[in-house]
């Protein structure tokens, strides 16, 4: 979803059975207003879908359509969709007729006007990630005045966000975790995390053109799969990010390399 202003967010956590009324359509006065002057956070899976929809590489997509920023608390790199450089600062994919990449729009746009969040809570068994929902009520939005009732669950099904949630959940959990050493990430590690998370085409080249496969013990079937399967490649990227952040032994280093260390 667009990153909302706190004044537009209801300070209540909702569950999947929460009810609300909403409808967005071309005939409504505020149509596409929510697609201007906003920050839209993009996940790795968002970028995969969007760059394939446009028929371009991840490198070209990132350069043309995004800005990279650094999260202050974790120092992780993250990606924001670049708005048009005009007064309205519109999404580059919106027109008076609506979204030109609607079937491949980002997960956060699919959720709107519902917001999704995750909290990391401690327990005796270790950290627990609690997912919850909230409503975004921007002043310009007239969709809440429409007489179509949903639950958050039925809205999720209608907007087809389940696949996006499955693809994004592991990445979102990584975003909530810091390097155990507690130190900010250096620029080199930030660049590696950025590539492994978002720039899949460059990451694939890195795997096959560097010492990556000499250093890490990757199953032969997985190696063959990532040559053509971008989902498998994305998931390997998540493993590499966990390795870089020393969160867990997500990738196994070959013995011959350990000895050289």
Q: Is 65 helix (H, G, I), strand (E, B) or coil?
A: helix
CA distance 29 to 31: 6
- pLDDT, residue 128, reads 54
* Domain spans of the chain, in order of start: 6-38+83-175, 187-260
Percent of the chain residues past pLDDT 70, beyond the cut: 89
* Local confidence band at 2 (pLDDT 50, 70, 90 cut-offs): very low
- pLDDT, residue 258, reads 72
Distance of CA 24 to the CA centre of its chain: 23
Q: pLDDT digit string (tens) for 157-198?
A: 999 999 999 999 899 888 877 666 667 899 999 999 999 999
Asked if pLDDT for residue 199 goes beyond 50, the answer is yes
Q: pLDDT digit string (tens) for 4-27?
A: 444 556 668 999 999 999 999 999
Side-chain half-sphere exposure of 55, counting CA atoms within 13 A: 0
49 backbone dihedrals φ, ψ, rounded to 5°: -65, -45
Q: pLDDT digit string (tens) for 71-109?
A: 988 899 999 999 999 888 999 999 999 999 999 999 999
Asked if pLDDT for residue 143 goes beyond 70, the answer is yes
CA distance 36 to 74: 28
Of residues 177, 215, 209, the one with CA closest to residue 193: 177
Name the average pLDDT for the chain. 89
- pLDDT, residue 74, reads 87
Looking only at the bridges linking them, the beta strands covering 66-70 and 77-81 are antiparallel
Better-predicted residue by pLDDT, 126 or 87: 87
* Local confidence band at 261 (pLDDT 50, 70, 90 cut-offs): very low
């Amino acid at each position: 979803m667009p990153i909302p202003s706190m004044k537009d967010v209801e300070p209540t956590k909702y569950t999947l059975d929460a009810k609300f009324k909403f409808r967005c359509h071309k005939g409504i006065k505020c149509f596409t207003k929510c697609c201007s002057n906003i920050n839209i956070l993009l996940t790795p899976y968002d970028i995969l879908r969007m760059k394939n929809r446009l028929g371009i590489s991840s490198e070209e997509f990132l350069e043309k359509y995004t800005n990279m920023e650094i999260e202050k608390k974790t120092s992780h790199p993250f990606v924001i969709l670049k708005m048009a450089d005009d007064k309205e600062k519109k999404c580059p994919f919106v027109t008076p007729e609506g979204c030109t990449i609607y079937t491949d729009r980002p997960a956060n746009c699919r959720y709107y006007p519902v917001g999704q969040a995750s909290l990391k809570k401690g327990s005796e068994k270790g950290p627990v990630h609690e997912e919850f929902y909230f409503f975004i009520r921007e002043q310009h939005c007239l969709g809440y005045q429409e007489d179509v009732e949903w639950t958050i669950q039925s809205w999720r099904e209608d907007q087809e966000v389940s696949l996006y949630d499955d693809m994004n959940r592991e990445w979102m959990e990584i975003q909530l975790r810091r390097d155990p050493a507690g130190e900010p990430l250096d620029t080199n590690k930030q660049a590696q995390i950025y590539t492994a998370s978002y720039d899949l085409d460059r990451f694939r080249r890195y795997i096959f053109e560097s010492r990556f496969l000499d250093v890490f013990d990757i199953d032969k079937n997985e190696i063959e799969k990532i040559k053509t399967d971008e989902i498998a490649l994305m998931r390997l990227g998540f493993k590499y990010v966990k390795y870089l952040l020393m969160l867990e032994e997500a990738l196994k280093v070959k013995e011959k390399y350990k000895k050289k260390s």
